[in-house]
Structure 1
Amino acid sequence: MENVRKGEDSEEVEIDLDSDLEESENGEDPEVLWRKAPPVVEDEENIHTSALVEISDTKPLISARDPRAINDCLQVTFEDVIAEPVSVRSGDRVWIWSHALFEVSRVWIYRIVSVLLAIPLSVITGVLFALLSCLHIWMVSPCIQCVLIGTRWLQSLWSIVMEVIVQPFFTSAGRCCGGFRVHLAKE
């Protein structure tokens, strides 16, 4: 037995280095079970699942880039844009090539435009939201609290007026009108 003490305020911890390894539930030696365990291999999907990333709200959503379905209206396919009626039809090759060119141009133009605009717009919106958050935290909320503190007497007076004058009036009016019954009959 070996005693380990760490720091002055910490508790004493005992480590038993001499005891034999106990057998597991199925009768095998734990050391043998440990050797049989398959090695843990991180998948590409689980790269971002460390303890720090799980806590973070900025974890990249690679598989679900629109989790709140904000852009459902932009789910455009070739058939949504171009459709030939039965009476007029172009050749099959024209249809196949136009479909292929539509898809390729849609994907690649989106990629090019997003490369050119995504990073600058991300920086601009990040700065904008940071400024708005800072203004809200350091200016708007304190001003609102100052106004609320200064008008606490007005809030109390208003609640008294509502409870003493307005509430009894509407309660009695509701009870008076509650006795009316309307019956609709078809002729």
Structure 2
Amino acid sequence: MPHLLYSLHLQPPGPATVTMMSDEYLVECKIDDDDEEEEKLHQTPPPPPQFSTPATPQPLLSQPESRDPYGINQHLKVEFSDVLAEPASPHSCDRVWIYSGIGFESARIWSYRCLTLLCAVPVSLLTGCLFACLACLHIWCVMPCVQVFHSCLPCARSLWLSVVNIFIAPLCSSVARCCSGIYVKLSKE
């Protein structure tokens, strides 16, 4: 696919002349004999995904594949072999070991499901309210106070430097001069 860059300058009385120009005035023209690509150029592109209508309506609350995508609760992935294990010498019957594993997993899964059925919605509402209160306090109380301090501290700093230079520094230097003549001798008697 060859590309030609050219500039054409037409003069009214005479023939067309080709002149050298800076790169900002150059136009890129693609020369191609392929008709399929030419048809693609004349077609309107599809709209961006946010503006196109989906072919099938999606449910309001879709369940993601992973409910812990950031791995917050990796430490809670407990299996039967993480909790119970028999050493090589004392073994129980094989059926006892299999049924105890099934019982452990069933009790763990169904207890979790029952507890989440009872507690998940109220706890999520409470944590949502807690984080909303924290966000509100941060947005409307903490950050305005921080901005007030940032805007007032330069003035307070210059005021404090003036107080130190006018009152405290001369007082400290005069006390230092008064005390510079004092000598302390330690002797054993």
Matched, 1:47 2:49: no
In structure 2, what is the equivalent of residue 131 of structure 1? 133
In structure 1, list runs of 5 or more residues that go unmatched.
1-23, 26-39, 54-58, 159-187
Which residues of 2 match residues 46-65 of structure 1 at below 5 A? Answer: 47=58, 62-65=64-67
Shift of 1:156: 7.3
In structure 2, list runs of 5 or more residues that go unmatched.
1-34, 37-53, 161-189
Give the total of aligned pairs.
Answer: 110
1:143-170 CA-to-partner distances (Å, cap 9, x unmatched) read 1111111112356799xxxxxxxxxxxx
Matched, 1:85 2:87: yes
Larger radius of gyration: 2
In structure 2, what is the equivalent of residue 153 of structure 1? 155
- Structure-2 change in CA distance of 1:156 and 1:118 (3 Å): farther
Q: CA–CA distance in 2 between the matches of 1:73 and 1:155? A: 49
In structure 1, what is the equivalent of residue 97 of structure 2? 95
Q: CA–CA distance in 2 between the matches of 1:124 and 1:106? A: 25
% identical aligned pairs: 46
Shift of 1:75: 1.0
1:19-65 CA-to-partner distances (Å, cap 9, x unmatched) read xxxxx94xxxxxxxxxxxxxx974xxx935xxxx8xxxxx7552111
Report 1 or 2 for greater relative contact order, CA contacts < 8 Å, sequence distance ≥ 6: 2
- Structure-2 change in CA distance of 1:41 and 1:146 (3 Å): closer
Match of 1:104 among 106, 126, 130: 106
Partner amino acid, structure 2, of 1:136: H
Query: What is the TM-score normalised by the length of structure 1?
Result: 0.51
Query: What is the TM-score normalised by the length of structure 2?
Result: 0.51
